[in-house]
Structure 1
């Protein structure tokens, strides 16, 4: 069938020669201003970020992401009412705030401690479900025990990073004169001991009284 000139003009679409169809500015992501430019991430450093008490850093993006990760580790159950769900959601950042992280490492450890605790408690809850097979109860208890050990490891790493995992003995202004001896550390005494200077060496000899006994 032969098409008339008027019918052919209706089926034609205007195409610009040598140009590609590009989306309008409204269709483009706001972070990309031009197709020839790459997306640039802007990292903010805000010392007054209110979320710093939860994650320990001055990066709002990191703090909020860590809070969301901790909240995402919560198990809500099959059917939970909105009030209980809100309480559980607030419990994760509440625990992180009371742990009190001071930097990014402590913040990540705090979030992992919250997640590990939640997982362990869920395993223990499942172990208490009545009328379940013994193998199911044992499996839940075993997983809960492993998670509890992981939690203890995280707490130890947190304390070690903060400097509370080791004991430091600090000694100041110790004067040791010529011929004398000094002991730094814990000294236990099994009974009464008298000391008298050795006239030859000037060193106090334990166990010798004034009368030589």
Structure 2
């Protein structure tokens, strides 16, 4: 992505986002595919959200924007919900690193404690987001893989898929 921070006559700032690809239409398709979207409005909204995460002062940092976009791409989102969570995770990661920098630069105990609280909250949020992504991708299913089973002499084993539906009772009434 190419970012241009353009100063307006009234002193405000406009940010221009352009796809950095020899064929812009193909570039847009690639970005849409990278974020798991088939909707142009969602792609534009996602890029705008990422620019908010990549703000530095009044403008947008192009390298930070590309970093955030690469984080979302690296998640390989399967749909728009995963992409949205990826954008949030990228924003939290960037904020966490900014908080870490402020923590490291703290000159007073009070400032250090404040930045430490912010850093810890952000780090916990990121871990919760990872867990949410894991649950969403697993669709609530829990899987147990048994790699090795030993059956002693006189024992019995079942080979194949074994399961019990909720609400059904076994032979013992359990």
TM range, smaller chain: 0.5 to 0.7
Pick the structure with greater CA Rg: 1
Give the counterpart of 1:72 among 26, 47, 52: 52
Match of 2:122 in 1: 147
Question: Does the 8 A contact of 2:35 with 2:83 survive in 1?
Answer: yes
1:138 and 2:103 matched:
no
SS of the equivalent of 1:102 reads coil
User: How far did 1:77 drift?
Assistant: 4.7
Match of 2:97 in 1: 121
1:158 and 2:116 matched:
no
How many pairs align?
Answer: 130
- What 5-or-longer segments of structure 2 have no aligned partner? 1-27, 158-174
Cα distance, 1:194–1:107 mapped onto 2, change above 3 Å: closer
Taking only aligned residues, the RMSD between alpha carbons, in angstroms, comes to 3.2
Structure with greater proportional strand content: 2
After superposition, give the CA deviation of every residue in 1:94-120 in whole Å (9 maximum; x if it has no partner).
111111111011011000000011111
Tell which has more relative contact order, 1 or 2 (C-alpha 8 A, sep 6+): 2
Question: Residues 79-94 of structure 1: matches in 2 within 5 Å?
Answer: 85-94=61-70
- What 5-or-longer segments of structure 1 have no aligned partner? 1-47, 171-184, 198-202, 205-213
Structure with greater proportional helix content: 2
Match of 2:79 in 1: 103
